[in-house]
Amino acid sequence: MSGTDARDTDLKKELDATLHARRDLGEEYESALVDSFLEKVDQRIDGAVERRVRRQLAEQQMQTARDSRTPRATDSWGERFGFGIVSLVLAVPLSAIGGGIAQTPGLLIAWAGIVGVNVAQAARTNPALFGARRKSRRDDDWSD
């Protein structure tokens, strides 16, 4: 017999006992008996809802934990394109400022910064591009 069947059987026994008590005690106790039975039913419903909510929360937490461990695909074409456009748009005034203030060295410093930002973005979105690899379990095992 499963847990649900046992609870249903218990609830049927409670109902039978309530009906039997109503016959024995008379109509003047009917309201109190019905209220008592409904309170027990309400407790059963509350318990079932609480179990379901706890189970769903646990499932959501497990899914969140799984999702946080899997790498997200942040290297979309739109993101790369947008970052490239923003880099080029910002390159114009930075080049003008750097070249206007410090001539060629200022221009070189401005472009080194632009290239550095783009290299950092490329390394963030595609670690394999620069030879980085995901750490595996075997990397931690020095017992060979």
Residues 6+ apart with CB under 8 A from 140: none
18 falls within a domain: yes
pLDDT band with cut points at 50, 70 and 90 for residue 4: low
pLDDT at 52: 93
Q: Does the structure show a pLDDT above 90 at 112?
A: yes
Instruction: Answer with the residue of higher pLDDT: 140 or 41.
Output: 41
Say if residue 69's pLDDT is above 70: no
**144 — pLDDT class (breaks 50, 70, 90):** very low
Supply 68's token pair: 């946080």
Same domain, 56 and 24: yes
Domain interval for residue 62: 3-69
**Same domain for 103 and 64:** no
**Which stretches of the chain are assigned E, i.e. beta strand?**
none
Contact 37, 18 (CB under 8 A): yes
Instruction: Count the Cβ atoms, other than its own, within 10 Å of residue 98.
Output: 21
* Over residues 7-25, mean pLDDT: 84
In a domain, residue 140? The reply is no
Q: What is the mean pLDDT of residues 75-82?
A: 77
Residues 8 and 32 in one domain: yes
47 and 9 fall within a common domain: yes
**pLDDT value at position 70?**
52
Tell me, yes or no, whether 18 and 59 share the same domain: yes
DSSP class per residue in 1-16: --HHHHHHHHHHHHHH
Interhelix angle 30-69/3-25, nearest 10 degrees: 160
Query: Do 53 and 85 sit in the same domain of this protein?
Result: no
pLDDT at 109: 92
What is the predicted pLDDT for the residue at 75? Answer: 56
What pTM does this model have? Answer: 0.40
Q: How many C-beta neighbours within 10 Å does residue 110 have? A: 21
The residue among 33, 52, 69 that closes a domain is 69
Distances (CA, A) of 106 to 49, 62, 88, 93, 100: 67, 52, 17, 12, 8
Distance of CA 4 to the CA centre of its chain: 31
The pLDDT of 7-12, averaged and rounded, is 81
Q: Tell me: do 7 and 65 sit in the same domain.
A: yes
